[in-house]
Amino acid sequence: MSFTLAIVGRPNVGKSTLFNRLVGKRLALVDDQPGVTRDLREGDARLGDLKFIVIDSAGLELAEDDSLQGRMRRLTERAVEEADVCLFLVDARVGVTPADEIFAEILRRKNAHVILAANKAEGHAGVAGALEAWSLGLGEPLQISAEHGEGLDDLYAALKPLADEFAARHAANTPEVDVEIEEGSEEEEVYRAPTAAKPLQLAVIGRPNAGKSTLINKILGEDRLLTGPEAGITRDAISVSTEFMGTPMRIWDTAGMRKKGKVNDKLEKLSVADGLRAVRFAEVVVVLLDVNIPFETQDLRIADFAETEGRAVVVAANKWDLEEDKPEKLKELREAFERLLPQLKGAPLVTVSAKTGKGLDRLNDAILKAHRVWNRRISTAKLNNWLTAMTEAHPPPAPGGRRIKLRYMTQAKTRPPGFVIMATHTDKIPESYGRYLVNGLRADFDMPGTPIRIFFRDQG
């Protein structure tokens, strides 16, 4: 358990830049254009020996109506509520603006624990602006430069006592927890159900307008991501921690995969990379389809990418509420799925309505099952019995009269499951025989929807 720091402040003061520096990966998107960062985004941060969760909030917007800006402001307030400490950034080069003052007022009203910092203060460029920030009445402004990494030792010094206090408080309140291991099969000896400390990493990917944001909002049960008609609101990979029907999950949203002409090229390129990155963070990937236009090229590419990356895949057909002839449509979907995505044979296909919430229980089941399968470990004894049966039922070919022998099999890895088979003449094993074994493993050990890899090792 670590404490949570929210970085707050009006647009363009450098929140995302600082977030990136603390998280150490280029998770957020930085751009000169104000308001690029519009969602709450979390990352695991490090500063010296301090580890904490950092939230990059939306910028301060003062509109009270239900416009995009109004919603961004609500998100900011929520960031403040969720955080243990707020880092309030102002721009040392610009000095204090009226927006900063109103923001300071919000922080005071929320009774937040605030560290004030004047950013862009590299060299001595920001001394005047930093002095001005005293007027906000939030204590001494640190002078930092997110871009150049200056002043971070002061930030450390300000955070350290708070972190210690948090750790002490938490230690006092936390009972000892045993990791629960269900009894039964061997698989369950290695499977650890997701916990708050190690949540299931989930990515929701799909084409623009498939309903990703609506789905994630529904799961979160709150308006934490923005949905709406604005194109390309979510431009980069963002993540939120939540519980989905009792299971701790971290959800990565990759709306960056949208191809929208409206967004300028530079942003768009970064976004696609962000989308793919979110798949890399994920253990289970939900490929969300719009049931009205399912399995288009872009969907197939996305699903294929998830498989190639070795992720467990669940396909969810969304907007099921709009469907009139449900049984017929379902049949159609299944056929198309089998035909177009043979590499994902057996992956669960569930129908959902992100809008009404119908089918979310099925989706949750499918995700948990996929995660379990992805982590599955099969004993060497079972595998070798199985291999014997498989080769007896259908022996490998005998190129040039010399039979290929598959001698011994073991599971080399999990997440996803990978197997090694010691064999002779491995270079002669046809691909079709490999497929026969993979399909057999899938069927006999009940491993739908997870990529399975078999590696052959030559053994004389």
> What is the rounded CA–CA span in Å between residue 440 and residue 454?
12
CB nearer ligand GDP, residue 303 or residue 452: 303
CB nearer ligand GDP, residue 15 or residue 425: 15
Binding of residue 278 to ligand GDP (CB under 6 A): no
Binding of residue 323 to ligand GDP (CB under 6 A): no
Of residues 104-123, those binding ligand GDP (CB under 6 A): 119-120, 122
Binding of residue 188 to ligand GDP (CB under 6 A): no
Question: Which window, 98-106, 203-211, 343-351, 448-456, contacts ligand GDP (CB under 6 A)?
Answer: 203-211
- Are the beta carbons of 430 and 395 closer than 8 angstroms? no
CB nearer ligand GDP, residue 209 or residue 439: 209
> What is the rounded CA–CA span in Å between residue 60 and residue 15?
11
Counting Cα atoms < 13 Å in the Cβ hemisphere of 2 gives 19
Binding residue for ligand GDP, selected from 309, 321, 323, 365, defined by CB under 6 A: 321
Residue 90 φ/ψ, nearest 5 degrees: -125, 165
Nearest distance from C-beta of residue 387 to ligand GDP, angstroms: 43
Of residues 64-103, those binding ligand GDP (CB under 6 A): none
Of residues 29-68, those binding ligand GDP (CB under 6 A): 30-32, 37, 59
CB nearer ligand GDP, residue 3 or residue 19: 19
Binding of residue 424 to ligand GDP (CB under 6 A): no
- The answer to whether 158 is a known ligand-binding residue is no
- The answer to whether 320 is a known ligand-binding residue is yes
- The answer to whether 397 is a known ligand-binding residue is no
Of residues 207-266, those binding ligand GDP (CB under 6 A): 208-214, 227, 255
* Residue whose C-alpha is closest to residue 42's, from 201, 245, 211: 201
Angular region, 246: left φ>0, alpha ψ -120 to 50, beta rest: left
* Residue whose C-alpha is closest to residue 321's, from 362, 356, 366: 356
Binding residue for ligand GDP, selected from 26, 160, 280, 355, defined by CB under 6 A: 355
- The answer to whether 434 is a known ligand-binding residue is no
Quickly tell me which residue has 């995969």 as its tokens.
257
- The answer to whether 16 is a known ligand-binding residue is yes
Buried b vs exposed e over 154-169: b needs ≥16 C-beta within 10 Å?
ebeebbeebbeebeee
CB nearer ligand GDP, residue 302 or residue 437: 302
> What is the rounded CA–CA span in Å between residue 118 and residue 140?
10
CB nearer ligand GDP, residue 268 or residue 321: 321
Binding residue for ligand GDP, selected from 50, 146, 279, 452, defined by CB under 6 A: 146
Torsion of CA 344, 345, 351, 357, to 10 degrees: -50
- The answer to whether 15 is a known ligand-binding residue is yes
Nearest distance from C-beta of residue 152 to ligand GDP, angstroms: 11
Binding of residue 396 to ligand GDP (CB under 6 A): no
The two beta strands, 418-423 and 406-413, are antiparallel
Cα torsion angle, 316, 322, 328, 333, sign: negative
Of residues 1-30, those binding ligand GDP (CB under 6 A): 9, 11-17, 30
Q: Specify binding-site residues for GTP.
A: 9-16, 56-60, 119-122, 206-213, 253-257, 318-321
Which residues contact ligand GDP (rule: CB under 6 A)? 9, 11-17, 30-32, 37, 59, 119-120, 122, 145-148, 206, 208-214, 227, 255, 318-319, 321-322, 353-355
